[in-house]
Amino acid sequence: MSNNQKNCLFIILSVLLYACGQDSRERSKIPPTPFQTESIQNTASLEALTDAIRSNPSLAENYYKRAIVLNKMGDSKKALEDINRADRLKQNTGKYLYVKALILRDMKQYREAFAFAQSAEILNVDTPELYTLLGDLSQQRNDLKNAEQYLAKSLQIAPYDGETYFYQGTLAARKGDTVTAILKMNKAIDMKPSFKLGYSTLTEVLKNRRLYDSALVVNNAAILQFPKNSEFLVDRGLVYNKFGRLDSALVYYDRAVKMDSKRIDAMLYSASIYFRWKNYAKALEFYEKALEANSETPKINYLIALTLEQLGSLTKAEEFLKAEVEKDPNNTQAIIALNRVSGQINSAMGVYTAPIPIPVKKAPVPVAKPVVEEPKKLLDTTRVKVNVIAPKKKVTIKTDTSRRLKL
């Protein structure tokens, strides 16, 4: 064997030995934990807590924890059932009442939420999250002074809490201070990039102020942060729709529907654009999709009927209008449209039928307040000193005797 062959063999063996050693070391390492999204984590937590509740259904803490997870997943109704069970098993627990208030706030039951949040405060739940919640609920009650105090108290405990800055921003917006509102909301997003509500609300504020470029920048950050959330695609479509770029708006509405087939709002927005363009066939397509996704969509029968009327399908339009009026007999718009369409059909057939009377909204009868007479104040004479006026002893009355009475 020549020297060159020996050197070549040595290099090959060295490489093989290094590779085997490297492979051995790689096998000895603990594999990294795969990244889990929030939805996967919530699903795993929900399964574990459900198993724990089956094993011990009398433990309040597990219902409390599962209520938090369910509320995060958007199932507020089941979350409320769980927190009510926890409260029954272990009454007057402050943290349970706080979570109950949080769930009720998400269900837009603000009055009940505020009552439970105050109960949690009375039970010495001294957390920034509770004061932030109370600040938000005070705003919903138009009690802006208390809202400001609660939010300031929250920041004293946790000066870097993004959600508190967000609600300070909404408070500033209510007061008409848009500049402060934008600064506070932007700070909230910087501090807590996972706070979804901050992106959508700030986008809405900027859009209403006609700061469309800034609104698109914030919305783009939201889409990058939450690439699987269709809500931000709809928000982007609304921004484009606001300043007249309807083609771009349709693109994002379409993307939202493809991501979430139950995104009815995106379907309705798309249909309204096509209706405005007088592309009634395309508008009808989206309205029918919305009806298929949810038959209880408000005024969907009325919208389909208007589109069918424009397409000349009067008989079908009449059917949808009758269904709408049957669902809501006080829908004046639907009744007027039904009378119009039925009149066209009957006119073509040479038939006359009386139109459906339009319901007249009666003005509320003012209820007279009962007149409550104030009780008469009686003088307590036992405490009053009365000075008796005594007549004079002698009264002299002068008379004119020179005058005579003539009869």
In a domain? residue 37: no
Average pLDDT over residues 251-259: 97
Quick one: pLDDT band at residue 7, thresholds 50, 70, 90?
very low
Q: Specify the pLDDT at position 270.
A: 97
pLDDT at 98: 96
More confident call, 12 vs 215: 215
- As for how many domains the chain has, the answer is 2
Report if residue 302 sits inside a domain. Answer: yes
List the alpha helices (DSSP H) in 123-211: 128-140, 144-157, 162-174, 178-191, 196-208
* Average pLDDT value for residue range 81-98: 95
The yes-or-no verdict on residue 3 having pLDDT over 60 is no
User: Do 331 and 249 lie in a common domain?
Assistant: no
The rounded distance, in Å, linking the Cα atoms of 352 and 398 is 103
Rounded Cα–Cα distance for residues 96 and 78 (Å): 15
Are 260 and 224 members of one domain? yes
Tokens of 286: 């989206």
Share of the chain above pLDDT 70, in %: 79
265 lies in the same domain as 333? no
**Residue 323 shares a structural domain with residue 253:** no
Q: Tell whether 139 is covered by a domain.
A: no
Query: 203 and 237 in contact (C-beta within 8 Å)?
Result: no
pLDDT at 398: 54
Say what the pLDDT of residue 148 is: 96
The reply to whether 159 falls in a domain is no
Q: Which among 84, 110, 106 has a CA at the least distance from the CA of 97?
A: 84
pTM of the predicted model as reported, rounded to 2 decimal places? 0.74
Listed residue (233, 287, 283) closest to 260, CA to CA: 233
271-313 confidence digits (pLDDT tens) = 999 999 999 999 999 999 999 999 999 999 999 999 999 999 9
Range of the domain at 258: 196-286
Domain termination site, one of 286, 311, 332: 286
Q: Which of 240, 259, 286 lies at the terminal end of a domain, its last residue?
A: 286
What was the pLDDT predicted at 281? 97
Comparison of pLDDT for 270 and 43, the residue scoring more: 270
- The answer to whether the CB of 113 falls within 8 A of the CB of 138 is no
Q: What is the pLDDT of residues 304-350, one digit of tens each?
A: 999 999 999 999 999 999 999 999 998 999 999 999 999 999 888 88
* Ranges assigned E (strand) in 264-327: none
Residue 5 has pLDDT above 80, yes or no: no
Across the chain, what does the average pLDDT equal? 85
- Cβ atoms within 10 A of the Cβ of 190, count? 11
Q: Are residues 307 and 256 in the same domain?
A: no
Please name which of 264, 265, 309 lies closest in space to residue 284, comparing C-alpha atoms: 309
Q: Does the residue 136 lie in any domain?
A: no
Q: What are phi and psi of 78, to 5 degrees?
A: -70, -35
When comparing pLDDT for 348 and 114, which is higher? 114
Q: 135-194: per-residue pLDDT in tens?
A: 999 999 999 999 999 999 999 999 999 999 999 999 999 999 999 999 999 999 999 999
Last residue of a domain, one of 262, 286, 310: 286
Q: Is residue 325 part of a domain?
A: yes
Res 392: pLDDT: 53
Q: Is residue 48 part of a domain?
A: no
Cβ-based burial of 233 (10 A; exposed 0-12, middle 13-18, buried ≥19): buried
pLDDT at 12 over 90: no
Q: Within this chain, do residues 276 and 312 fall inside the same structural domain, yes or no?
A: no
**276 in the same domain as 219:** yes
